[in-house]
Structure 1
Amino acid sequence: MIGAGTTAVVTGGSSGIGAATASLLARRGCDVLVTGRDPAALDTVARHAGARACAADLTEPGAAARVLAAAGEVELLVCNAGVGWAGRLEDMPEADAETLVRVNLLAPVQLVRAVLPGMLERGRGHLVFVSSIAGSMNVAGEAVYSATKAGLDALAASVRGEVTGRGVGVSVVVPGVVDTPFFARRGTPYARRRPRPVPPERVAEALVAAVERNRAEVFVPPWLRLPARLRGVAPALTDALQRRFT
Structure 2
Amino acid sequence: MDVRGAVVLVTGASSGIGAAAALKLHEAGARLVLHGRDGDRLNALAERTGAVAVRADFAEPGAGQAVAEEVIARAGAVDVLVNNAGMGWAGPVSEMPAAEVQRLLSVNLTAPLQLTRTLLPALLDRPRAAVVFVTSIAGRAGVAGESVYSATKAGVDVFAESLRLELAATGVHVGVVVPGVVDTAFFARRNRPYLRSSPKPVPAERVAQAVLEAVTAERAEQYVPRWMRWPIAVRGAAPSVYRALSARFGGSG
Q: Under a length normalisation based on structure 1, what TM-score does the superposition of the two structures give?
A: 0.95
Structure 1 counterpart of 2:159, from 155, 161, 166: 155
Match of 1:19 in 2: 19
Match of 2:221 in 1: 217
CA contact (8 A) 1:54 1:70 kept: no
Give the whole-Å Cα distance in 1 for the aligned partners of 2:13 and 2:24. 12
Code of the aligned partner of 2:191: G
Q: After TM superposition, list the pairs within 5 Å mapping 1:40-189 onto structure 2.
A: 40-60=40-60, 61-62=62-63, 63-64=66-67, 65-189=69-193
- Percent identical among aligned pairs is 52
What secondary structure, in the 3-state scheme, does the structure 2 residue paired with 1:77 have? strand
Code of the aligned partner of 2:34: V
Report the alpha carbon displacement of residue 90 of structure 1 after superposing the two structures with TM.
Answer: 0.9
Give the whole-Å Cα distance in 1 for the aligned partners of 2:124 and 2:152. 26
Give the whole-Å Cα distance in 2 for the aligned partners of 1:59 and 1:68. 21
Match of 2:207 in 1: 203
What secondary structure, in the 3-state scheme, does the structure 2 residue paired with 1:122 have? coil
Match of 1:29 in 2: 29
Q: Displaced runs of 4+ in structure 1, greater than 4 A?
A: none
Q: Under a length normalisation based on structure 2, what TM-score does the superposition of the two structures give?
A: 0.92
Is 87-96 or 167-176 further displaced after alignment?
87-96
Over the residues paired in the alignment, what is the CA RMSD in angstroms?
1.6
Equivalent residue pairs, number: 246
Structure 2 counterpart of 1:234, from 224, 232, 238: 238
Code of the aligned partner of 1:108: P
Is 124-133 or 205-214 further displaced after alignment?
205-214
Report the alpha carbon displacement of residue 27 of structure 1 after superposing the two structures with TM.
Answer: 1.3
Report the alpha carbon displacement of residue 235 of structure 1 after superposing the two structures with TM.
Answer: 3.1
Report the alpha carbon displacement of residue 68 of structure 1 after superposing the two structures with TM.
Answer: 4.2
Structure 1: runs of 5 or more not aligned: none
Give the whole-Å Cα distance in 2 for the aligned partners of 1:241 and 1:215. 29
Give the whole-Å Cα distance in 1 for the aligned partners of 2:146 and 2:33. 30
CA deviations 1:140-188 (Å, max 9, x no partner) are: 0000000011111100000000000211100000000000000001121
